[in-house]
Structure 1
Amino acid sequence: MAERPAPLRWAPLLALCLLWLLPGLLGHEPWKPDEAYTFGLVRHIAASGDWVVPTLAGEPFMEKPPLFFISAAWTMRLFEGWLGAPDAARLAAGLWNLIAWLGLATAARALFGPGHGRWALVLLIGTLGLPLRAHQLITDTALLAGFCWGWPG
């Protein structure tokens, strides 16, 4: 049997990944306390334009780096007219997941050879516990993306 062209080999996996990612991002308010305080930080950044030091309840929040908060504020400002503010902000988590998946596939391909990137991605999205955390508005999705891109060098 002839080998399928590269885009066709990735198409079923891409469809599976989008089916895995999109449903948990939209249609609900912030779930856990982590999401609630993150949304407060994101809302402050989007409203004030203070991109350097996020503020929560009037106090500077320096516990976590602001990159995820800034990206969530951007997606919130960009999509808030079409989606509710929490859903629009949560799209940043989806973006960071996509970046992580691309990094993981690149790392697996570099470490194990062609064809292994797809399997690494299937194993990641099948991991227990990841679906809940990957769909939340928390900084861990950006951290995962950083780790995934750190592996291939």
Structure 2
Amino acid sequence: MQTKICAMMFSLIIYPTTCLALSKQLHTLAAVNHPNGYDAPEGSIAILKRKKNICTISITLYGETGKIIYLWHFNASGLKQAQRTEYNYTDGGLTMLPENQGQFLEYVRSNQKLNPHAQEVQSEFKKVRGFFPNQLVNCI
């Protein structure tokens, strides 16, 4: 599968959508490195995926001792679910890579379901959708 890389202020990778109808598996449609407003010490990425009639945007914020993942599940009628999960790394994680030789585990520190109808959640979802071109976000 070939990818097309678009030159923008941030890196955006778009995958071909012709294969979406051929499989019921989860397909990555696009990814954005370092999405605006989601800064993290070790980098961040937003990924748009589709499975059947639901799309998911995940935003991962990488830190030295853990990471945070936001998930936004939506379809044509709007946001269905949102959550925030925080992970910690064992053995010093990214701060001790030479010592742990890149071998560390991650465990869930907290998991919070967000109210998809709350105004601030809806506002943040609108911002997150804006990271991707309309033709991809309207993927249902």
TM-score range, shorter chain: under 0.3
User: Whose RCO is larger (CA < 8 A, sep 6+)?
Assistant: 1
User: Which structure features the higher share of helix residues?
Assistant: 1
- The TM-score, its normalising length taken from structure 2, stands at 0.28
User: Which structure features the higher share of strand residues?
Assistant: 2
- The TM-score, its normalising length taken from structure 1, stands at 0.26
Q: Which has the larger radius of gyration?
A: 1
